[in-house]
Chains A and B, each alone.
Chain A
């Protein structure tokens, strides 16, 4: 078992070495390092503390599960939508980014909020049906 782990680890190190050697061939390796470091800094120093803070303030009490779920889904949708929402400059042609993304973003948040609000109601209804007292 230990042997397998060592071998797998060695394969991983070899892959990393190959990746690093490819990076030495690119034209602007410093720029790449800045962006790699920036990715960690952005997550660890900004995004993660903000998410933890939001959790501390908003996710509490009886509805903490659904509230956390809603925030998580809204957050994920927002992150994935950021490039199409914020891309500056002219589009290459009319078939690139053809939709009204800010409108779509508001629709998505509204749908998530509605579904989240319905979850406890549906659960309560089911519970009442199961135990008609």
Chain B
């Protein structure tokens, strides 16, 4: 007896090129936006040497917007990607599976595209919930696979260009060649996909768009939850600092004319108030009023040159991001403060008591808390 393997038959009528193109017209831009904003975040957190001094400190809300868009476009891409994969699923069982070397390469690029796309959305979403079930480290892998999947997407668009063009609009020749009676059903499906995109966006985006916070159902953060109504990533206890005793606190400014300040001395220096957001790489952000001493004032007092970079060192004992660097633009920006107060109150220990860095257009992990030392780098 001979066992015969035959591919499954799909009777659904919308597994066609017009449906795939319509969804792709949204999915492609969502991935492009996610990739570009991801690059922005990558270079702000890990600037190569030639870039470090040229990262702009304005607009002050820049990182809040780009990283909010990064996470929102990734979430919006979830229903789009699943709908797209549903549409093209029958092609997985193409018969014969491989027709030529070219066909094999094309299928391989699609395999990379599907694997990478699902992988990026899944790992990104899990990361926002601080859930790391994989054996590798998230940041470098998420970054590497982003290039892989974007490359595969560009190849895919080049390969499919004629089909995309033929089905671009309702009146394109390829679309008109499809059975006309499917049009209404396809529009109903696409409307549902649009509704799904709207639903996942509205129930999560309030974590970065504060006016929409009351619609939050599934965001891992809520702007109102946290000490002083501001979310926290690393607490004082987790960082091993606890509550720093006022009389023991010293700020060391290590420049050409080094000096040390007590907390009382820091409080008697000219204080400035700024409104700046904490914008986390995980997508959430919230604006707040900060009061403190301008970093540029502290630098000038130490005789730092105008183009100096600054290393900001925390008192924390445990965890990454103990040290961050301010490029020239950020160090000189009058909005960059060593903040002592948040929304009119003393900083909570979890927000960096007694003094933390707050600078415009900067990822939250680099807004160093419990600052004990500023080092002027030449």
Chain A residues in contact with chain B, CB under 8 A? 5-6, 8-9, 11-20, 22-23, 25-28, 31-32, 35-37, 39-40, 42-44, 47-48, 51-52, 55, 65, 68-69, 72-73, 75-77, 79-84, 87-89, 91-99, 101, 104-105, 107-108, 112
User: CB distance A80 to B78 under 8 Å?
Assistant: yes
Which residues of B are found within 8 Å of A105, using beta-carbon distances?
Answer: 217-218
* B104 CB within 8 Å of chain A: no
Within 8 Å CB of A6, what residues of B? 158
For this complex, 19 residue pairs linking A to B, each with C-beta atoms less than 8 Å apart, are: A6-B158, A12-B154, A15-B150, A15-B154, A26-B141, A35-B119, A35-B134, A39-B115, A65-B192, A69-B195, A76-B79, A76-B199, A77-B199, A93-B233, A93-B235, A95-B222, A95-B231, A99-B217, A108-B199
CB of A112, distance to nearest CB on chain B (Å): 7
- Which residue in chain A gives the minimum CB-CB distance to B230? A95
Structural contact, B78 and A68, CB atoms closer than 8 A: no
Interface of A is mostly: helix
CB contact between A15 and one of B119, B147, B159, B227 (< 8 Å): that residue:
B147
Q: How far is the CB of A49 from chain B (nearest CB, A)?
A: 9
Give Cα A81–Cα B122 distance, bound, in whole angstroms: 12
Partner of A72, one of B149, B154, B193: B193
Residue of A nearest to B231 (CB): A95
Whether the pair A12, B137 counts as a contact (CB closer than 8 A) is no
How far, in whole Å, are A37 and B111 apart by their CA atoms in the complex?
A: 9
- B225 CB to nearest chain A CB (Å): 4
Q: Is the CB of B136 within 8 A of A28?
A: yes
Q: How far is the CA of A26 from the CA of B186 in the complex (A)?
A: 43
Q: How far is the CB of B310 from chain A (nearest CB, A)?
A: 28
Residues of A within 8 A of B154 (CB): 8-9, 11-12, 15
Q: Does B375 contact A (CB under 8 A)?
A: no
**Within 8 Å of chain A (Cβ to Cβ): is B221?**
yes
- B203 contacts across to A, CB distance below 8 A: 77, 80, 104, 108
**Taking chain B's interface residues, is the majority helix, strand, or loop, or is none over half, making it mixed?**
helix
Known A-B contacts A76-B196, A87-B129; the reply to A16 vs B155 at CB < 8 A is yes
A69's contact among B114, B158, B188, by CB below 8 Å, is which? Answer: B188
Are the C-beta atoms of A17 and B151 separated by less than 8 Å? yes
Q: Could you tell me the distance in whole angstroms from the C-beta of A98 to the nearest C-beta in chain B?
A: 4
Selected from B12, B83, B157, the residue in CB contact (under 8 A) with A55 is: B12
Q: B227 — which chain A residues lie within 8 A by C-beta? A: 95
Check: B246 CB closer than 8 A to any chain A CB: no
Q: Decide if A98 touches B225 in the complex (CB within 8 Å).
A: yes
In the complex, the answer to whether A39 meets B118 with C-beta atoms within 8 Å is yes
Let me know if A36 and B115 touch, CB within 8 A: yes
In the complex, what residues of A have CB within 8 A of residue B350's CB? Answer: 93
Binds A, one of B16-24, B85-93, B252-260, B365-373: B85-93
Q: Are A93 and B232 in contact (CB under 8 A)?
A: yes
Q: Cα distance A55–B150 when bound, in Å? A: 31
B136 lies within 8 A of A37 (CB):
no
- Contact yes or no, B130 A52, CB < 8 A: no
Is B26's beta carbon under 8 Å from chain A? no
Q: Are A76 and B78 in contact (CB under 8 A)?
A: yes
- Using C-beta atoms within 8 Å of the partner chain, give the interface range for chain B: 35 or more
Contact of B145 among A19, A76, A79, A99 (CB under 8 A): A19
Given A12-B154, A19-B148, 19 more A-B residue pairs with CB atoms under 8 Å apart are: A8-B154, A9-B155, A9-B158, A12-B151, A16-B152, A39-B119, A40-B118, A51-B82, A51-B86, A55-B12, A68-B188, A76-B196, A76-B199, A77-B199, A79-B79, A80-B75, A92-B234, A105-B218, A107-B217
In chain B, positions 105-163 with a C-beta closer than 8 Å to chain A are: 109, 111-112, 114-116, 118-119, 122-123, 125-126, 128-131, 134-137, 140-141, 143-159, 161
Determine the distance from Cα of A13 to Cα of B144 in the docked complex, in whole angstroms.
14
In the complex, which residues 304-322 of chain B have their Cβ closer than 8 Å to any Cβ of chain A?
A: none
Considering the complex, which residues of chain B in the window 274-327 have a beta carbon less than 8 Å from any beta carbon of chain A? none
Decide yes or no: A12 and B199 within 8 Å by CB, A87-B131, A93-B350 being known contacts. Answer: no
Whole-angstrom CA separation of A8 from B159 in the bound complex: 9
* Interfacial chain B residues near A8, Cβ < 8 Å: 154, 157-158, 161
Minimal beta-carbon separation of A107 from chain B (angstroms): 7
A96 and B123 CA atoms in complex are apart in Å by: 18
Residues of B within 8 A of A76 (CB): 78-79, 82, 196-197, 199-200
A13 to nearest B CB, angstroms? 6
The 8 closest A-B pairs by CB, nearest first: A15-B151, A19-B148, A12-B154, A19-B147, A16-B151, A22-B144, A69-B192, A95-B226
Q: Which residues of A sit under 8 angstroms from B176, Cβ to Cβ?
A: none
Query: In whole angstroms, how far apart are the Cα atoms of A91 and B221 in the complex?
Result: 12
